[in-house]
Structure 1
Amino acid sequence: MAEDINRLLEKLNFSEEEATKIVFTKSGSNNSKGFKAWDIGKIMSVEKVNRDVMYRVFKSIWFTKEEVNFVAIKQGVILVKFGNMDDRKKILNLSPLLFDQCLFSMLAYFKDQEVETYAFNLIPFWVRIFNIPLECMDRQVAMDVGSAIGEVIAINWHDRDGGWTKYIQLRVIIDTSKSLRKVVQFVNSEAVVSICAIKYERLPIFCYSCGLISCSTQKCDKEVDLS
């Protein structure tokens, strides 16, 4: 969009004063306290959230080494300016971030990237997969089951041999623009099907009618299936 606007403006005739270019000369803009320590976020909820209160709450619970600042920009998107890279990395690893049970999606900021191109709907969650047969609990099964939910980015091993007892725990990037998946059907080597329940850790408020995090049960047009 910015490139289209620039092309249109280039066709205009400028006065001598308007033709003067302002050159950005600030030094140190590429260091750890510049845009490389920034993130960009968005509240993924149809309900209105008090942003000023959210800013204060996040500042009080994040315990960053340096001050973090929030700047609201277009389309409900918020620029999160950390003071250093360590703070930024620590908070990103805490995802999903919640305020008043509403999801705040936060991604790494990239210079010159259009706001519309950020995939705020792709968010990492820790999930627990129950009812996997004990004899089938290994890394490959964890990857296969996790891939049915989203992109697997981490596996929480319970012991040195990678064994679990009650569940498999995975960190998976989930597309929140789709309905939350409730189960995975696992078939063992003897063709026995197990219905494996999915439990999402730190799950925000979501719609029980359509299963979307960004929706509200009270405002959803889809009827709840009680069967």
Structure 2
Amino acid sequence: MADSLLSKLGELTFTAEEQDAVVVTPNVVAIPAEDFACSLVDKKYWFALEQAYANRTIHDYSFQHMCIWVRIHNIPLSLMTAALARALGAFVCKIIMTDTRLEDGNMGEFMRVRVSFDTSKPLCRCVILSRPDAKASLCPLQYERLPLFCHGCSLIGHSVLACPTTPKVEGQKFQYGAWLRAPLPKRSASWTTLCCRR
């Protein structure tokens, strides 16, 4: 998954924000190398709530923030820590919580962060992870249950056909695409069986 996302990113032009690197500092503690000796690797429309106030009408609310899970790919296994998840998530937008899936030693192929996303801003497509001891890594992002968004301007709420700012040119390549949408998890056979039983 990370390889195909990285190849997509190789064709794009990045914004100034996306070109800033998240630097791993000494306070982000990596998992010790000896811990990996006993580890295995396996490959196996938008809902927004705001605080209500008695003296406001419905038109006084912007509803421009939504909570969404973001997957961060291409992270070295030794750096899959909650501290790094928080640092990378804060780069994307306001972080609410992390889910690194470190329970029972299962790290997986990406980290997850839940963020409060400002829908008036373009989607962030990647973060750059910079380390003093290694080459900088390009970390693609994917959004879980991402609603309708424009592949031209990347704003949520309209398609590229209805975009007021994207020129309509035949054969045009867009800077954003369906690859930003994380695939839905597959339901297991036991879950399907359990749901169908009466």
**Shorter-chain TM band:** 0.5 to 0.7
| Unmatched runs of 5 consecutive residues or more in structure 2 | 1-44, 176-198
Aligned counterpart in structure 2 of residue 128 of structure 1, from 40, 53, 71: 71
Contact 1:180–1:211, Cα closer than 8 Å, also in 2: yes
Q: Which has the higher helix share?
A: 2
Match of 1:193 in 2: 136
Match of 1:212 in 2: 155
TM-score (ref. length: structure 2): 0.56
> 1:106 aligned to 2:41?
no
Q: Segments of 4+ in structure 1 off by > 6 A?
A: none
Q: Following TM superposition, by how much is the alpha carbon of 1:114 offset from its aligned partner in structure 2, in angstroms?
A: 5.0
Q: Deviations over 1:161-219 (max 9, x none)?
A: 78622110110111110111111111123251111111100101100000000333112
* Partner AA of 2:166 in structure 1: K
Q: Deviations over 1:118-160 (max 9, x none)?
A: 3411111011100011111112211110011111111114134
Q: Deviations over 1:60-115 (max 9, x none)?
A: xxxxxxxxxxxxxxxxxxxxxxxxxxxxxxxxxxxxxxxxxx32433332222354
Question: How many residue pairs were aligned?
Answer: 126
Match of 1:141 in 2: 84
The residue matched to 1:147 in structure 2 has which SS? helix
Calculate percent identity across the aligned residue pairs: 32
Q: Distance in 1 between matches of 2:65 and 2:47?
A: 12
Q: Distance in 1 between matches of 2:150 and 2:119?
A: 12
Match of 1:222 in 2: 166
* Partner AA of 1:138 in structure 2: T
Structure 1 segment 2-151 matched on structure 2, within 5 A = 102-113=45-56, 115-151=58-94
Q: 1:191/1:113 Cα in 2 relative to 1: closer, same or farther (>3 Å)?
A: farther
Match of 2:111 in 1: 168
* Partner AA of 1:149 in structure 2: V
Asked which structure has the greater CA Rg, the reply is 1
Higher relative contact order (CA 8 A, sep 6+): 2
The residue matched to 2:120 in structure 1 has which SS? coil
Q: Distance in 1 between matches of 2:105 and 2:85?
A: 10
* Partner AA of 1:159 in structure 2: L
Match of 1:48 in 2: none
| Unmatched runs of 5 consecutive residues or more in structure 1 | 1-101
Q: Distance in 2 between matches of 1:216 and 1:180?
A: 14
Q: 1:164/1:119 Cα in 2 relative to 1: closer, same or farther (>3 Å)?
A: farther
Match of 2:97 in 1: 154
* Partner AA of 1:132 in structure 2: I
Contact 2:81–2:100, Cα closer than 8 Å, also in 1: no
Contact 1:139–1:162, Cα closer than 8 Å, also in 2: no
Q: Which has the higher strand share?
A: 1
Contact 1:206–1:213, Cα closer than 8 Å, also in 2: yes
Contact 2:48–2:67, Cα closer than 8 Å, also in 1: no
